[in-house]
Amino acid sequence: MEMNDRFLRACRRGPVDATPVWFMRQAGRYMPEYRAIREKYSLLEICYHPELAAEVTLQPVRALGVDAAILFADILLPAIPLGVGLEFARGEGPVLQNPVRTMEDVKRLQPVHPEKDLGYVMEAIRILRSELSIPLIGFCGAPFTVASYIVEGGSSREFLKTKMVMYSTPEVWHALMETLSGVLAEYLVAQIRAGAQAVQVFDSWVGALSPQDYEKFVLPYSQKVLQAAKAENVPVIHFGTNTTTLLPLMKRAGGDVIGLDWRIPLDDGWSLLGSDVAVQGNLDPAILFAPLPEIKVRVQDILRRAAGRPGHIFNLGHGILQHTPVENVKAVVDMAHEFSALREKV
């Protein structure tokens, strides 16, 4: 089986024949094949059955021609062995039944042994490695984003409960982040040892914080997770949204590749970061609903800003939205490959 390694080469800022492309949330409800499986199984049932998780991971690989696969799982799975509880209520997003807000709550968190307690994730990775001819990306949530769900008990807009723990009882915040960063670091290392060839750390909601608060309350813990993965010698992607003012600090926390959302032009984001890291991004997921000529302009604009520099991975600025037309996603893969390959030739 011939291996397409342009994704791994780009992570290491090496030369590529065309810009690699993959999408956050490339498996999901916008795909008819995924909806067919979800008619029979819940999201958690898919995660618990490695054959199903592997099948769902492969669906976008077959349909789109992407250059990397991302393991099908969820950033909130570690909440289950931690004893916080996790449920996906219909149309409401995640519900964590036992939120953590006090020191007693933190002390009640259960020790987690990823290899055993999240063994179904490792098994899905092993199955996938035997079937894939593109690299497999493992992932976890970053401590802040996972903590936000664990404190709020679900999704949030203002993160008020989270920030109250941080600002009113900093000792509780630091104890929670210490526990979570340890668990997430071990979870990521277990995924790498099971066969993940790169990993992404999702700090999806970290843009809710000022740089000062990021540095004090988040950076050391993200750094612990990112360093643990780096020590395993696979490329590490560090992703967040609304991060324009946080990018230099996120780079300091770690990552061979930094994810950019669409709010910052790719070249401006790359300038803020410096040329010694790779970047991933950054098409607005909503553009995938636009007519093809407009999509084409936007894809070309991103590639023009990347300017053929080594170390660009084409992706969206955040995950694919529900109801996205599959044919437009496929068209973006082809456009990004085609336009970047042309540039390599001139």
Catalytic residues: 25, 29, 38, 74, 149
Q: Which amino acid is at 95?
A: V
Q: Which of 41, 230, 250 is nearest to 145 (CA)?
A: 250
Minimum CB distance to ligand CP3, residue 171 (Å): 26
Query: Of the candidates 14, 32, 85, 93, which one interacts with ligand CP3 according to CB under 6 A?
Result: 93
Displacement of CA 10 from its chain's centroid (Å): 17
Q: Where are the alpha helices (DSSP H) in 158-218?
A: 160-168, 170-194, 211-217
- Interaction mask 221-260, ligand CP3, x per CB under 6 A: ----------------------------------------
**Of residues 144 and 339, the one with the C-beta less far from ligand CP3:** 144
Q: Which stretch binds ligand CP3 (CB under 6 A): 10-18, 88-96, 167-175, 253-261?
A: 88-96
Residue of 75, 180, 194, 264 interacting with ligand CP3 (CB under 6 A) = 75
Q: Which of 8, 10, 11, 27 touches ligand CP3 by CB under 6 A? A: 27
CB of 242 closer than 8 Å to CB of 204: no
Q: How far is the CB of 204 from ligand CP3 (least distance, A)?
A: 3
Widest distance between CA atoms in the chain: 63
Residue 101 C-beta: closest distance to ligand CP3, Å:
20
Cβ neighbors of 40 (< 8 A, separation 6 or more) are none
Pairing outcome for strands 87-89 and 93-95: antiparallel
Residue number closest to ligand CP3, CB atom: 204
How far, in Å, CA of 145 to CA of 27, rounded?
A: 21
Distance of alpha carbon 109 from alpha carbon 101, whole angstroms: 12
Using CB under 6 A, which of 88, 131, 161, 296 touches ligand CP3?
Answer: 88
Instruction: Please state the closest distance from residue 248 (CB atom) to ligand CP3, in A.
Output: 22
**Dist CA 104 CA 126 (whole Å):** 38
| Residue 310 Cβ vs ligand CP3, minimum distance, rounded to whole Å | 25
Considering only residues 310 through 339, tell me which ones interact with ligand CP3, judged by CB under 6 A. 319
Nearer to ligand CP3 among residue 323 and residue 345 (C-beta): 323
- Angle, helices 50-64 vs 326-345, to 10°: value is 60
Residue 253 CA to residue 241 CA, distance in Å, equals 15
- Region of 1-9, 68-76, 125-133, 278-286 interacting with ligand CP3 (CB under 6 A): 68-76
Restricted to residues 152-181, the positions that interact with ligand CP3 (CB under 6 A) are 155
CA–CA gap between residue 296 and residue 332 (Å, rounded)? 8
Question: b or e along 56-85 (b: 16 or more beta carbons within 10 Å of the residue's beta carbon)?
Answer: bbbbbbebbebbbbbbbbbbbbbbbbbebe
- Span near ligand CP3 by CB under 6 A; candidates 71-79, 181-189, 206-214, 298-306: 71-79
Asked if 76 is part of the footprint of ligand CP3 (rule: CB under 6 A), the reply reads: yes
Closer by beta carbon to ligand CP3, 74 or else 215: 74
- Of 10-18, 74-82, 175-183, 245-253, which part binds ligand CP3 (CB under 6 A)? 74-82
What per-residue string of b and e applies to 158-183 under the rule 16 or more CB within 10 Å gives b?
Answer: ebeebbebbeeeeebbbbbbebbbbb
How many residues touch ligand CP3 (CB under 6 A)?
Answer: 21
What residues make contact with ligand CP3 under the rule CB under 6 A? 24-29, 38, 43, 70, 72, 74-76, 88, 93-94, 139, 155, 202, 204, 319
